[in-house]
Amino acid sequence: MSASRPTVLLAGKVHPRVRQRVEAEFDAISIDAADAALLDEDTRKRIRGLAAATAISADFIDSMPNLEVIANFGVGYDAVDARHAATRQVMVTNTPDVLSEEVADTTVGLLLNTVRELPKAEAYLRAGKWESNGAYPLTSLSLRGRTVGIFGLGRIGLAIARRLEAFGLPIHYHTRNKRSDVAYPWHARLVDLASAVDTLVVIVPGGAATEKAVNTEVLDALGPQGVLISVGRGSTIDEPALIAALTDRRIAAAGLDVFAHEPHVPQALMDLPNACLLPHVASASESTRNAMADLVVDNLEAWLAGRPALTPVPECAGFDRAAS
Ligand code: NAP
Ligand code: 8YV
């Protein structure tokens, strides 16, 4: 450790590139969980920066009296109590933009896998069934003729919309604020969006405002030909309601990259033939995760050197570096 280097805490299972750069550039301390009991008082007082790869509570923030910045690995920062951090003038940063195109690519792949059953068709081939049983059965669903509703037309939602537009599919969306820069039909209520489309892509942030927003009413509005694709946060879907709708075929199929209690996936979902499931991999290529890791450390570097944060979350966007 060097006395002149700011102390930065690595909390949780951090990306190797974050660890490598933080260890090279700062006085680094590591703990497996964001638990103040794992640090003595002197250490807690030394910490000025936090690289977060796990939930960060108000109590944990308060346990570090000289904390200046929390750099979250991920664009979604619902697990960090950013509102509380802001009241303490602690900067919170996330990793927007660098993952948007990757996540949009994965979303389109998940949609295709869900309607055209490509993972199941490959499993059929690998099991030797093509040779023994003949052609894989025709899929009851197709992307052709679908109308897509995007719940959350932000950075990633727009990248998904542009791709699906190129597939020849009409796009509608729901957000709280109508966008002035797109011509896609906007629906003020999620349930109205679901009624207007047969394919619903969920890419809103998690948190209280979107908690269980995709509920029985929304799923029933989507209808029996309906396909749900969820890549935002698992908390946005009422999972038991989704399992019931898939079981009763009140919607046709679902493709999910995120779940309510990750990494646990309910057995009832795993048992459903009309659910296509991924283990939260939408941004998970080496190149994109490295870009996210660099943005985490670049934010720490900037803020701890007295410069503005590169990507502050909205709760902290107005912070004046000189005044903190
Ligand atoms: P963003 O640019 O902030 O976009 C969020 C969009 O959601 C905006 O259009 C926003 O519009 C809308 N929105 C927010 N709260 C809403 C609410 N209560 N009701 C209706 N619409 C709401 O964020 P992004 O970069 O696109 O990322 C979106 C989310 O995707 C992240 O927060 C993260 O949770 C998730 N994500 C998942 C993965 C993965 O690996 N599966 C990867 C990256 C991101 P209004 O403000 O007008 O409502
Ligand atoms: C990451 C994500 O998988 O950026 C997000 O919000 O959900 C994903 O890119 C996650 O943040 C880290 O594992």
Domain ranges of the chain: 7-96+287-323, 100-277
Testing ligand 1's pocket by substitution, the residue of 99, 204, 285 carrying the most ligand atoms inside 8 A of its CB is: 204
Mean pLDDT of all residues in 305-317: 97
For residue 148, the CA-to-ligand 2 centroid distance in Å is: 24
Which residue's alpha carbon is at the smallest distance from atom 8 of ligand 2?
74
Nearest atom in ligand 2 to 233's CA: 7
Domain 7-96+287-323 has CATH 3.40.50.720: yes
Q: Mind giving me the DSSP string for 93-110?
A: E---STTHHHHHHHHHHH
> pTM (2 decimals)?
0.97
Nearest atom in ligand 2 to 99's CA: 9
For residue 82, the CA-to-ligand 1 centroid distance in Å is: 16
Answer yes or no: are the C-beta atoms of 118 and 147 closer than 8 Å: no
Of 158, 159, 181, 163, nearest to 173 (Cα)?
158
Other beta carbons within 10 Å of 105 = 17
Testing ligand 2's pocket by substitution, the residue of 93, 110, 283 carrying the most ligand atoms inside 8 A of its CB is: 283
Testing ligand 1's pocket by substitution, the residue of 107, 176, 283 carrying the most ligand atoms inside 8 A of its CB is: 176
In this structure, which ligand is nearest to the CA of 210? 1
> What was the pLDDT predicted at 266?
98
Instruction: Report the Cα–Cα distance between both ends of the chain, in Å, rounded.
Output: 25
For residue 204, the CA-to-ligand 1 centroid distance in Å is: 3
- Supply 45's token pair: 């007082």
Instruction: Taking the CA atoms of 69, 73, 77 and 80 in sequence, report the sign of the dihedral they define.
Output: negative
Residues with CB under 6 A from ligand 2: 73-76, 99, 280, 283
Of 201, 213, 207, nearest to 158 (Cα)?
201
What positions carry a catalytic annotation?
Answer: 233, 262, 280
Residue-wise pLDDT tens digits, 174-204: 999 999 999 999 999 999 999 999 999 999 9
What CATH number should be reported for the domain whose range is 100-277? 3.40.50.720
- 7-96+287-323 and 100-277 have identical folds: yes
Of 218, 222, 250, 251, nearest to 237 (Cα)?
218
Residue-wise pLDDT tens digits, 102-143: 999 999 999 999 999 999 999 999 999 999 999 999 999 999
